[in-house]
Copies of this chain bind each other. A is one copy, B any other.
Amino acid sequence: MGIVHRQVGKDGNFAWDDVEEEAYRGGGASEGSCRSILIGPKEGAQHFAIRYFEIPPRGQSSFEDHHHDHGVVVLRGRARVLLGWEVHEVGRGDAVYIPPNEQHQFETIGDEPFGFLCVIPSKEWLERIQALQGKNG
């Protein structure tokens, strides 16, 4: 059965019914950063996940470089984003594609938190296809 998570945040903040906001601290992310998994394994999604991240003013996301790709859409605030060796400035509504194995990091600009949706392929599915490919040599 389909699932609806209602946005219940006040005053420009984002929060969703029946979605837990987790601290997000891996890889050098700034204190106060958080992550909410809107669509993922809990919802039964097998192929992808949609997460909402928020980085506080003067904060930054973890510096990452990994096999899976990211699709990002900004919901609030502004940030510098490092994509490989390039730096771009992004704001509300902008879409960013981060290909596999490209180093990336976001750093909030200004006094508003930087909030964005981030889509990833599911880890289980990536592992499954790798295992199947391995069997087929």
Chain A residues in the interface with B (C-beta under 8 A):
1-7, 9, 14, 16, 19, 38-39, 43-48, 50, 68-69, 71, 73-75, 81, 83-84, 86, 88, 90-99, 102, 104, 117, 119, 121, 125-126, 128-129, 132-133, 135-136
Contact = CB atoms under 8 A, between A and B. Distances in A.
A24 to B, nearest CB: 18
Nearest to A39: B71
Q: How many copies does the complex hold?
A: 2
A19 B6 CA distance: 29
Nearest to A5: B95
A48 B4 contact: no
A81 to B, nearest CB: 8
A16 B132 contact: no
Nearest to A89: B4
A38 B91 CA distance: 15
